[in-house]
Amino acid sequence: MLLKSRSQRVIIIGAGIGGLTTGALLAKRGFQVEIYDQAIIPGGCASTFKRQGFTFDVGATQVAGLEVGGIHHRIFTELGIDIPEATPCDPACAVYLPDEPEPINIWRDPTQWQAERQRQFPHSEPFWQFLQNLFQPSWRFQLRDPILPPRNLWDLAQLLKAMRWDTLATVPFTLSTVGDALRGFGLDRDRRLRTFLDLQLKLYSQVNAEETALLYAATSLAVSQSPLGLWHLKGSMQVLSDRLVEALEKYGGKLYMRHTVQAIDPKSMQVKVYNQLSQALNWESADHIVANVTVQSLVKLLGDQAPQGYKRRVEKLKPASGAFVLYLGVDHQAIPDRCPPHLQFLDSYTDQRSLFVSVSQAGDGRAPTGKATIIASEFTDILEWQTEDYQTLKSKYSQRAIAQLSKYFNLENTIIYQEAATPQTFIRYTGRDQGMVGGLGMRISTFSPFGFANRTPLKHIWLVGDCTHPGEGTAGVSYSALTVVKQISA
């Protein structure tokens, strides 16, 4: 197998976490790997930038899967590289509902979280226990590395090997949403509970409780609790990318930044690469081509050679979300005592505009001594930013975000640095199609057996990233990468 793989060249488009993980694992297994990315630094939406001594995470600000047996732990162990230093987020998030001075704290300890939700949402415990009963077999199933959705007999065999009797207990709920479950437990009119679920699920699935697939929600709402958990990396999110680049190069793989892939020719198995520095344009050949891009970008790269059925399905997808992100470098006096690393704010039940906020911690390397970073993001319509009055709109969003943040943080005379990003910024720096973030939305139509497969209809053309199973986040795209590696290696 090693001799066979040594003769096979793999080109990976995109140096996000999914592309870097795929490349490092394939290089470790003996493939000739080359990764091309149009940006200056690797990491995609999990990269960072520095301003006036502050380090800001571009998009992703927290990590799952660093615990023993977690996906990042498994991958880093296989690659023989150190697990990044991190601290557990506890609470994982403090959620502030409108006109409520005290938050809903999502504690890491399962018993403490159970007591919190029982206090916050009386009479809802049967619903939470139901989610837990779905989570346990679903999580055990995922740990056995199923291939979803399967596209040939080998994929199907791997899927069947991962199934157990308890997996079958989740099958009847494959077509259910969280909204269906709320109605089933008579909780659909509980405004506080539904709003809380909407806020949390929007972070993980891009859509609200009414649309989020129930089995996906059962997992995403449980990963905050021990023995799992969300983690705050020391340094920045860039640590993940740096370790993966280290492993890639350790095993002979190559990374080319500032190289834009303009087209894929599936017939000749070539990609058209533009070198931004030399301005040279070359066609590079490969045995396998892995696209760590959105499925919309993959169709564009394939052009006229995109399978028509695949193209039509992409065109029918519901619009994805973009993000407005405000980056603040502040004096530490702006941060309240015992401020958790992650918060969520909703000012109005009618407006539904919420902010997800990440705050640096003392000694985590993101800010100079006596200073801190605040990163606040909100979902936004990507089409809204295709306007001639762009700067005015950007200023409006910034002012609104600062006004909302000022209700919790002391921002008067404490802001040292301020910058904002919009979907247009994500287009420019990460290459995301139309500036969309976080995948397709975990609706029934795009989740698990109904989602986009890593194995595309074109032989030896692969898709990896948050448009595939099991979804967004660094842990999700790492599972996607592991799936592609297994398929190519087989």
Q: Which whole number is the average pLDDT over 252-261?
A: 98
Contacts 24+ apart (CB under 8 A), 267-273: 267/305, 269/460, 271/11, 271/13, 271/36, 273/36
pTM of the model: 0.96
Tens digits of residue pLDDT in 114-150: 999 999 999 999 999 999 999 999 999 999 999 999 9
Find out whether 43 and 56 touch, Cβ atoms under 8 Å.
no
Helix/strand/coil for 393: helix
What is the reported pLDDT for 5? 58
How do 94-96 and 104-105 pair as beta strands?
Answer: antiparallel
Question: Of 59, 104, 112, 109, which Cα lies nearest the Cα of 88?
Answer: 109
The pLDDT of residue 1 is above 60: no
The pLDDT of residue 275 is above 90: yes
- Fill in the DSSP letter of residue 448: G
CATH of domain 321-430: 3.30.519.10
Q: Which whole number is the average pLDDT over 472-478?
A: 94
Query: The dihedral of CA 383, 387, 390, 394: what is its sign?
Result: negative
Give the CATH superfamily of 2-44+65-86+237-317+438-489: FAD/NAD(P)-binding domain (3.50.50.60)
Tens digits of residue pLDDT in 375-399: 999 999 999 998 889 999 999 999 9
The pLDDT of residue 320 is above 90: no
What is the reported pLDDT for 230? 95
Please give the Cα distance from 405 to 417 (Å, whole number). 15
Return the minimum-mean-pLDDT range out of 5-14, 101-110, 233-242, 271-280. Answer: 5-14
The pLDDT of residue 4 is above 70: no
Percentage of the chain beyond pLDDT 70 is: 99
Tens digits of residue pLDDT in 177-214: 999 999 999 999 999 999 999 999 999 999 999 999 99
The pLDDT of residue 463 is above 80: yes
Distances (CA, A) of 104 to 82, 131, 198, 216, 259: 35, 19, 14, 22, 45
Q: Of all helices (H) and strands (E), which one includes residue 12?
A: strand 9-13
Domain ranges, ordered by start, for the chain = 2-44+65-86+237-317+438-489, 106-225, 321-430
Give the phi and the psi of residue 175 in degrees, each rounded to 5: -100, 15
Tens digits of residue pLDDT in 338-353: 999 999 999 999 887 8
Tens digits of residue pLDDT in 51-91: 999 999 998 889 999 999 999 999 999 999 999 999 999 99
Tens digits of residue pLDDT in 431-455: 888 889 988 999 999 999 999 999 9
Q: Which whole number is the average pLDDT over 461-486?
A: 96
Q: How confident is the model at residue 250 (pLDDT cuts 50, 70, 90)?
A: very high
Helix/strand/coil for 192: helix
